[in-house]
Amino acid sequence: MGRVSPETLGKELTVGEVAARSGVPVSTIHFYEAKGLITSWRNRGNQRRYPREVLRRVAVIKVAQRAGVPLARIKEALSALPNGRTPTAEDWAELSARWREELDARIRRLTRLRDDLDGCIGCGCLSTRHCPLRNPGDELAEEGPGPRLLDPA
């Protein structure tokens, strides 16, 4: 972002204000900025200033993080919005639906992992042939060793 424009006068926030209003530490605000998730500009005193919309953007980032969405994916989703705008209610509906599917998939993977772990408790073999954690989802194991899918002969 550039210098203060007339539209942003009176609407800009300091990093401390952003932190206080969003409930996120100042260090996290700086971190988000370093990762390209939010942006600021410098005022004449060389201090960072943020648009008010950053509060909604930070809220979206926090909710997505709570759902386990990696920062890189959050950045990708926010960057895909037209002109890098702050997500509207419509944008949020779309993003949250997508992230819900990913969360469901992650829950399924973790549930499977937990169930596999049950069989390993007290075992310790870590066998590449029999341990479901060491060799997860190996449905071709019954056919023998080697790259079965790459060498169908």
Instruction: Tell me whether residue 5 or residue 127 sits nearer to ligand FES (CB atom).
Output: 127
Smallest gap from residue 145 Cβ to ligand FES (A): 17
Q: Say what the alpha-carbon torsion angle 53, 33, 6, 20 is, to the nearest 10 degrees.
A: 60
Is residue 102 left, alpha or beta, with left meaning phi > 0 and alpha meaning psi from -120 to 50? alpha
Smallest gap from residue 112 Cβ to ligand FES (A): 14
Return the residue of 119, 128, 135, 141 that touches ligand FES, per CB under 6 A.
119
And the tokens for 130?
A: 């029999």
Q: Which stretch binds ligand FES (CB under 6 A): 20-28, 29-37, 69-77, 124-132?
A: 124-132
DSSP letter at 85?
Answer: P
Provide long-range contacts, Cβ within 8 A and 24+ apart, for 125-134: none
Return the residue of 105, 113, 123, 141 that touches ligand FES, per CB under 6 A.
123
Q: What are phi and psi of 83, to 5 degrees?
A: 55, 25
Binding of ligand FES by 138 (CB under 6 A): no
Binding of ligand FES by 110 (CB under 6 A): no
Binding of ligand FES by 16 (CB under 6 A): no
Quickly tell me which residue has 């949250």 as its tokens. 96
Binding of ligand FES by 113 (CB under 6 A): no
How far is it, in rounded angstroms, from Cα 53 to Cα 78?
13
Residues that bind ligand FES (CB under 6 A): 119-120, 123-127, 130-131, 133
